[in-house]
Amino acid sequence: MDVKPVAMDREMNRFSRKIAEEKNIPYQDMVSGSGNEHRNLVRFVRLACCPFQVRGISHSPKEFTSVADMEKVIEFLSEILYKLA
């Protein structure tokens, strides 16, 4: 499948970065070529991607995310939802 990556919403990216900085959660700006569900959703909603730390081989049984890393993701997403409400 030859599909071009889609751009995430710049305002939502800035908003997400600000929250990560406020919460002292490390982040890295990245370009993802995955597209998948983003390709259709960007036509309807403002999107920002929130990948998180995984260890091992992505998308395989060897992929692993620690409880501590998942807690950071939950804290981060909870703050985003709270501020957007």
Residue 71 lies in a domain: yes
Q: Which domain holds residue 29?
A: 10-84
Give a yes or no: residue 48 inside a domain: yes
Say if 2 falls within a structural domain: no
For residue 59, is it left (φ>0), alpha (ψ between -120 and 50) or beta?
left
Evaluate whether residue 34 is within a structural domain. Answer: yes
Residue 59 has what pLDDT? 76
With respect to residue 3, please indicate whether it lies within any of the assigned structural domains.
no
Alpha-carbon span 10 to 7, nearest angstrom:
8
**Residue 17 located in a structural domain:** yes
4 inside domain: no
Residue-level pLDDT at 79: 92
**Three-state SS letters, 19-65:** HHHHCCCCCCCCCCCCCCCHHHHCCCCCCCCCCCCCECCCCCCCCEC
According to DSSP, residue 85 is labeled -
User: What's residue 34's pLDDT?
Assistant: 60
- What pLDDT, on a 0 to 100 scale, did the predictor assign at position 31? 66
Residues 23 and 76: beta-carbon distance below 8 Å? yes
Q: Residue 50: what pLDDT?
A: 76
Please tell me the total count of domains within the chain.
1
> Which regions of the chain are under pLDDT 50?
none
